[in-house]
Structures are given as structure tokens and as C-alpha cells.
Structure 1
Amino acid sequence: MFLPTSHAVESSSYSPPPCRQFTFSEIELATRGFDESLVIGRGGFGRVYRGTITCGLTLLDVAIKRLESTSNQGAVEFWAEVEMLSKLRHSHLVSLIGYCNEGKEMILVYEYMPNGTLEDRLHKRRAPLTWVRRLKICIGAARGLDYLHTRTGIMHGVIHRDVKSSNILLDDNWVAKISDFGLSKIVPTNQPSTYVSTLVKGTFGYLDPDYFQTGRLTRKSDVYAFGVVLFEVFCGKQAVDRSIDEEQWGLATWAQDSIEEGRLEQIVDSNLRGRIFPKCLKEFALLAERCLHGRPKQRPTMTEVVEGLESILVLQEKTDSTWVPTFLFPSNHKIGSTRLKSLDIYLYTVGGEDRIVQRFDFDTIVYATENFSEANKILSCTYESMYKGRLQNGQDITITQYSYASTYEECMNEASMLVKFEHENAIQLLGYCIHRRRMYLLYDFAPYATLDGLIFDAQCNLLNWNTRYKIILGVARVLVYLHNHAPIQIIHRDVEPSNILLDESFDPKLSGFGLATAINKTDGIHVDQICGTYGYMAPEYAIHGFLSAKADVFSFGVLVLEVVTGKRSIDVGGSVKRYVKRNWVEGTLSNIIDPRINVDLILMTKFMEVGLLCVQRNAAVRPTMEEVVDMLVGTASLTLRVSEMRARRSLQRTEAEDSDTGEVEEFISELCPR
């Protein structure tokens, strides 16, 4: 059964916020004065910043595109984009939230797309997209173009005129959205062959040769450009690729010539070889070729492209459950045991349609780590061994080692969790290697250090308060994602400094998912096995085996207190929780702030109070991670919560005169082993 091709329901059911006009001061506030650290892209129009705006009572993550004075685009493209996206609303078109036109400033504000552009995903050494995910992205983009061409619901259709992989954005669910309408042209919908005579504009590599030669722009010019995108997705090469022979830098010509020479299977992206059902491979290449036909009238419409892609997806999904990939277990690979062979199968297939988990040979691991050089070793309390390295293609990676059968289950669990989601503040699985009886996991990231390697080193002065705040906020945001927005709800179970990796800009990545648990119940589950790290486990989990998102909140609270004080959770004559609580009650917090940071006491008090709210004994009164983020960014007041916490603290101290059960529970939770 095909996916629906009617777009009326999609369009009418999609309700993005209405377009509004922003003041320049609002834009400055949203981007922290156009902070360079917030730049997420650059294009012909100018820089694109990630920002946060207030929409009623809601905070929205947005992408803010600012026109630069050196840009070859200007007011014409700016107003074309505003006018076009103000009228057109569809689930596969990026939503324009608003704009700013003040003085010489021309700024566009869009919904933020967490997964970036299709171009980045295909060409910038990111974890490779699976074949099924690529198909779904192509279908989404094709639906967006089909809507523009014929289904806008108005008298005219729209020719995009700059279809390319960098103008296909991906939201947090990998839904494709067409963007950048600055070059778009309006044409009548009831005359499919109608063309617009215009100056030739677009991007080399995607330009329709007929349009380039005649200046006649038709819907089929978009179809041609989309055909180039299809070959990008298929081959993993850029539209203009200088790694190809000089005479064939254009991907379109190279792909067509290669197919004509019978080399179809050789031009498939190496990450996909052996993973595509042969009939799907041929049908996809044939459809892409039809889009590139020299005669525009012979090219399919976008409606036909959507239908063709949907039929390929249905066929691939039908065969995925029974078809065996072609290169599992090469003949020269010796598995040390039956169990390792089972693990090999598991890791190779665990990604499903969500992620390609690549299989690396041991020589690649040796090369990347310079034969496991001590200089590349990263100290870690979580992993048996951890190394940073670099693949031959220049990609920086992290490698963790598992040598014992008792750790294989953690390895499998980590892999099964990481293939289900992706977040900028979480480590990303790239692949694995099995050599003799050792297993290795490879991650798409090379850390500069772990948080505990810096924060607890008294001689280290690299972490000023702004950096620490960035780390705290990054970890909080990934926990919000895991608890509320990931495809499955995930409880990390081991949030602590050695599991927070930092790059050279000190951006944090949460790692250590070997103990993570997926749950369907929002209120939590009971577990038989208690796993975690000394000093970070919530009392209800450590003592009673009750696991919920509030257990991660507790661990995060300990982390916040450590970051502010510079003290380990259990190195201050007890626990950091009781250490901070005592000074908070006595009004002596200034005595326990890490002397390496020089920040106003009021601000530090706020952060320590956030930490204390998170480590309250009663899970029910701890904030959620969403509430914690609101507190950290200043959109939620702490006053009421803190006063309630003080009242509970007074009551607990009164009850403690008759019983010290609470202190005993805290003490036990600190001593429960990993």
C-alpha cells in the first residue's frame, strides 16, 4: 500500500506560528548580540544564527538569517522570501516565523531545524544516513516541490529555481523541508508547459541545461535539479565533485555516463553497498535519470516523482525483514566464538532504518589510534579503555574497548540506544569492530577532555563560568530531549562528569549509555539490578529500585553542585549535597564556590539552588528537566520552589529529632555500587 499522495490534509493540518515583524533589539537579544558561537551556517544571503525568541509564554528555538553587506542578494530576494513563505504553509516547507526590516538590517527568522541540511548529512563526515531514511527524506522534499508546483490552492504555482541539497532542511524527526525561496518565480497552475523568461539564476551543478541555454524557466527545471539531488543521495557525491575526472566534475553527467557503461553498482555510496535491495537500486537510478532527461517534456512531474519514490520505499521495506545483506562475515574474518558472531550480527543490524552502523576492520582501528598510543588515551571511569583517533579520510573519532564477556551486554545496550536518536549534546555511534575476543565501538567525535579531567584538576584554569554554564545547559538540554522528545523515552542512569566529553570549544557531549534504559511509562519502572556511580544515584532508585526521569534529575543536580564548587560528589567529608545544603542553610555559600570562577554571589546562589532542588530526597518535588532548563535560562522563577524547599527542609530537621531515616537513605544511596 502506497503512502498517501494527496497533500490537502498535510497542508491544512499543519499550523506553524503566523509571520510577525521583529524589532532589531529583539533579534539582538535572541542571538546574544550575534554571538559567533551561535553561527550554524553561512550562505549567499549571509550568516545563519541559532537563537531563542519568546512567542507568548513559549520559548522557541529559531534560525536567524542576517543579510550581509557583501552578499550578492538583497531586498528583492528578501521580500520574495517573506511574501512567498507568508502565503505558503505546508509540512514540507520551512516555516517563516518572522522578519526584521530596520534601517539597513534585513533579517529572516525561521523554525529551527535540529538535523541541519541534507548537504551536511551527505557530505560532511556525519554518521551516514540509512537507505530508508534517505528515501523518506527524498519523498518529503518531493512532496514539498509537488505542492509548490500544483497544489498551493491559489491560482498560481511556484517554481523554486534553487533546488539543492543545502536547501533541504531536516527537523528533529528527519522530516524534509524545502527552504530558501529568494529566487522563486510564480507561474499559472493550469498551464503546465508555461515558462517564464528570466535571467538565469541558480547553483552550478543543479542548473537545468535547457534553462541555462534558453532562459526559459519551467517546473521541469526544478525536476532536473531534484534529479541531481537524487544522485547525491544515491552516490554520496556532491553536485560539483572535483574528485571526479576534470571533464566530469558535474555529478549529473558522471552518474549518467557510469550507468550507461554498466557501472551502476560501483557508483552507489560506499556506506550503502550491500544494503539496498537490487530492484530498488535500479528503480531509483532510473527515476533519477528520467529527471535529468535532456528534453524537459520527457521529465516526470513532481507528482510522478513522489509516486515513484513511494513505490521504491514500499518495496525496500517489504524486503528488509527477509533480505540478507551481502557482505556480513567476509571469508577472511574469524570470529572468536559463537557469542561474538551473534554480537557481530546484532551490531551490524541494530541500526535498522534509523542508522547505518559501519563495520570496521582492526587495521583501521590500529591506524586511527596510532597503535593505541598512550598519547591518544582518554582517562575514563566508565569505559574499560577509551582512545581518540583519526580515520584515513580525516574524520576524528573516539574508540571504546570491551574485552570481557561481562561487558558485552553494556556494549550492545549502548549501541541499541544510540541508534535511536541524535542530539548535538550526545555522542553519536559511527560503527564497531570485533577482533579476536575484543569489541570496539567507534563514535563520530574526538574529545579534547572529559569534564571530570578538568573540573577536579586544581591546576586547571580552562573552565571559566561562561564555559561551565554552557556545559551545564548543554547537558540539561540533552536530558530534556531524552526524557521528552526522543523516539523512545530514555533514562540515562549514569549522568556524571566522566561521561561528559568536551570538544576544543568545550561544547559537551553526553556519553556512557551502557546503562541507559528505555521506558514506555512516564511515571517510571521498577528494576531488579541497581547500576550507577557512587554519589549520583537517587535514593528511591538506589534503595527501592524505582527508576524514572527524576533519577537523572537527581544525578544532574549533583553535577551542577560539583561544577559550581569544584568538589567531587563524595570528597568533601561526606557528600557534596550535604556540604552545599549545610552552607545554604547557614548562609555561607560564598565559602564553597570554586575559587577559580569569579562571578556574582547572587548568580552562584541561583545555580546552587537549582542543584539543591534537583537533589531533593522526594522525587515528586524535584523539577523536571524541562523546568530545570527554564530555570537555567531565566524564564522560570525559583522563588516559590526555593521557599517550599526551605519549608520542607525545616520540617525534615524537626522529624530528624525522632528519626534519622532520611540521612541513612542518602548515605546508602551514595554507597550503592556501579
Structure 2
Amino acid sequence: MDAFLQQFQHLQIQHQDITSATDNFNDDNCIGRGGFGKVYKGELSHSKGRSTVAIKRLDPRHGQGIPEFLKEITTLSRYTHENLICLLGFCYQGDEMILVYEHASRGSLDHYLNNAHLTWLQRLKICLDAAEGLSYLHNPRETHQRLIHCDSVIVTVASGTPGYCDPQYAMTHTLTKESDVYSFGVVLFEVLCGRLCCTYSNGRVQQNLVRTWIKSYEEKKLNDVIFKDTAILPLDQSALEIFSDIAYRCLKESREDRPRMAEVVSELETAIGYQKQFQDLTIPLEEITLATNHFNVEKNYIGGGAFGKVYRGEVSLCKDRSMTAIKRIDPKYGQGIPKFLKEIMTLSCYRHENIVSLLGFCYQGDEMILVYEHVSRGSLDRYLDSPHLTWSRRLKICLDAAKGLRYLHDQRETHQRLIHYGVKSANILLDDQWNAKVSDVGLSIMDPADEQNSVIVTVAEGTPGYCDPQYAMTHTLTKKSDVYSFGVVLFEVLCGRLCYTLDSEDHVKEILMTTWIKRYEQNKLNDIIFKYPTIQPLNQSTLEIFSDIAYQCFKESGDDRPKMVEVVAVLERSLDLLSYQEFMGEWNKTNNVL
């Protein structure tokens, strides 16, 4: 014992100093208790200076005797890491066995699981810190052996808190590093769900939620259990997928299938990266107010709808200033916080040259504002009868929009497929070069990739003329519902007008789709096709290809309608054919001149 005390003399603290710091172990200074005894808070001088410390006073009646006490000192003195509670000293005097640790001022994580002040970035960072601490214990260094947090490898009696203990231990009485990984997976799900893994009644476990959480993950229903609070920004979709996936893998039944803590650290770092990118989209309200001249209707207003108003303004983005479209949500018109957050989540995951990009957002006080790229020429519906839209330009616009929808419909590694359910010429925007971009993607509906059927919707915002007739009967939206709506747009471009007429009070008077379909079936497209004296007519072969794919989009059965990938292929072929014929026409003119 003397040799031991000599070896760790630099860590020894006098009993009288501890007594003084804790006011003679006054219960007012007690900050915790357990099977080992009590923990007190006090200010002490120690080997690293003077600070507030946590003083663990062991009670030998509760099982921790001198060997365990000495082992804890030996072990903790060797393991130093920023994410491990540091041993600052000890006292072994008379019957007293006291350990002095650094004091973590906010206490334990379990007190904050459902705290709205804990942002998702903070939650992820807390998990990463803890993972790095465990990874340090598990991976051998030159100065120490690897540790299992539960102390040993083969154990006949181990204190395991219900809900956290590796199920394999109950069968084998063997603890491995993977036992810690399992327990840490439970913690990850607690952080994700904002609650402890067990519910209690009269001090006894009433329900273990771990199996419920695993089932929710496997059924892709995490939204049912994830922590939600409108006071904080939501968890980025990519970050959620990475975080929940690594948590789920930690809970695998077979230890061989669980990841190492080093891999857990790497995955959490990636999730944090995605969440930081998401939070970097925030734009201060002050900057938006200045950019819009305090939301000046006369100078900056460019459009609006049931959601509120859209303004034009120049804001700073990634050290550059860009002209943007600023959508100021008016909650009085039905788009509340959930819909606003959904639009941010959706648009932050979907990036494509033919999709209007979300550049930032503001969620400050009562303000809910979305900042999009500014598409300078506005929406396609304004140009349907414009002589500026030559036939090659019209086909190119349709092809661009089709590519945007194809991107939404086809699942990628980074996102689930979407049903837009708002496809119309007013939601196809045109830039300076007449490139088309699909807008209003943020209010789309997720179409789970593992479901052949689609999404049942009791209320969907559908503009007359564009809505799939099957929806009116079934209240079911599919990707083919978007195909139908896009077929309407194709006929609008072909005919140079909207698919409906309005009366004097701007109410829909007539839907023209029935007439257009009839003219196609009667081979009388020439009666309705757009004509303008200065525009070269569309040649017959291109007209047949274009009108045929538009007509197929209208098939009564969704199964008979083409996929967007097929629509893209046909439009590419029609545009290539038109370009070739225009080239040959110019070539023939040149040859005739010569």
C-alpha cells in the first residue's frame, strides 16, 4: 500500500481539504448518488490547479472495497482524453475512500434529452464526443490497454441498467467491446427520440422502448418517434439517415454485425457535416428586410399566392451577393410551421439544374421565409403565346422540365423519390437563356421507394385542368399523376394557351383538355396548334412525335401512361429531329444562294 501511495502521491488530497470543500459532506452539496455512495460538489486545489470538482465518497458497505478503489485510481490515472471524465485526485485516509473528478457543470445527458434548447447540431456533437471517448478506450495505445466500459471480459455478476445491457450478455455472461457499442446505440436512439429508453412506474421498469425504436427504423417510420420541437431547426434528412443507420447497426443482435466505435465516430462526423450545411442555409432577418426594402410591395414584389408574397432582393450567399426570390410565408393562409419546415427539408436534399434551388431560409420570431434562386423570366404560362418561343425553344423548355421531374421521380442514394402533385406551366420557371426549372418542389409528397403503390391523400391542392382524373375518384396520387399534369403542359405549349378559360370574375369557365384530346384523335391538330407569322411551323414528323407522347400522358389508367424517363427520351428525340431539320433547311438555303 505504501508503494502505491508513493506512486500516486501527486494525486493525493488531504481529507480536511475535502471536508472543508463539501462543508463536512453537507447534503446541500450532494449532486448525485448510487450503489457506490454519494457525489458532492466542492472547490479544491489539485494536481491541475484549483477548480470546482466532483467528489465521489465511496461507501464500503455497498460493495466497492479497497481493491476496486485502488484499481479505479490506477486505471483512470492512465487514461486521459478530452471526452473522458478526468481523475484529479483521491483521498485514502482512515476508513475514507474518496475519488475527485473534474466537474461537468451541466450534469448528465439524460436530463436534457427532451430539452428544446438542445439543437440537433448540439445533439450530434454530444454523441460524437461520447463516441470519441469510447473509441479511445477501445483502441490500444502505447500507454494503455484497451478497456470495456463494463470493466471486464468474463463476468458472473455485472451491474447493467435495464434497457442498455447487451442482450448477448444475458446468454453468455461475456462482455466485449461490442457490448459497449450496443449500449451506445441505445443512447443514440435516446438522443434521436428525446427520451429515455425505459419508462418506469414505482421505481420499476414499465416499458423498454428499444424494440419499438428498432421496429420504427425498419418500417421507415422514424418520423413517428423522432424528437420534435418547433423551437429548433429540424434534423437534415441526410444527417437523419446516417445517424439512424449507425444507431440501428449498433443494436444488431450479432456482435459481429455491430460497427466498431471508430466507425461510429466517422459516421457521426459525416452526419454533423450535413447538419452544418443545412444550418448554413440560415439568413438573418435583418439582411432579408434590407434586401426587400422592408418588404416593399411597389419596388420588390414579384408574385404571390395562398402562401403569402414573393419579393426580389439581393442577399449574401457564400461570400457572394446574388439576386434571389424571397418567399415570405403568411401563416394566416394555412402554411404553418410543419409545412414550412417540410419545404426546407425537401429542397435542401434535391439539387438539379432543372429544379429551382433553395438558397437559404429565415425562421426568426414569427417570420418564416424561404430564399430561392431568382429565375429572371418568370413562369412559362406567361409565354405560351409569345413569338419569342420558337418551336425549338418550346421543345427545349419541355425537355428541361421533364428532366427535372425525372430527377424527382427516380430514387437516388441521396434522396427518396417525390410526387410533385403541382405540375403546371405556372410552376415551370424560365431563366435568361430560356432554360426551364421546376418550382414548388418543397410541397411535394414522399413516395417510398419500397412501395409499388403510391400515396393516399385526403386533401391535395390541385389546379383545375391539371389534376389527374384518377385522383378525384381514388384520392390516390402516384408518379403517373405528375405525368398526366405534364401532358397538360405539353399540350399548352403545343397550342400556345392555358388549358382553361376564365370568366369575367376570373373563375374557371371551360377546361380545354377534352377538346384538345378530341382534335388529336381526329387528326385535326392543325385546328389548335400555335401559329405565328414570324415563326416557322412545326414540321409534321416532329409534331407527330411530340403530340403522341403528350397524348400518352393522358391515358385513363396510370399504368398505361409513360414514365418520365420515357417522356425525356421521346422529347430528346423530337428535339434532335427538329434541330436536324432546321439545320438541313438552313443548309439548303445556303446552297441555293450559292
TM-score (norm 2): 0.49
The structure that has the greater radius of gyration is 2
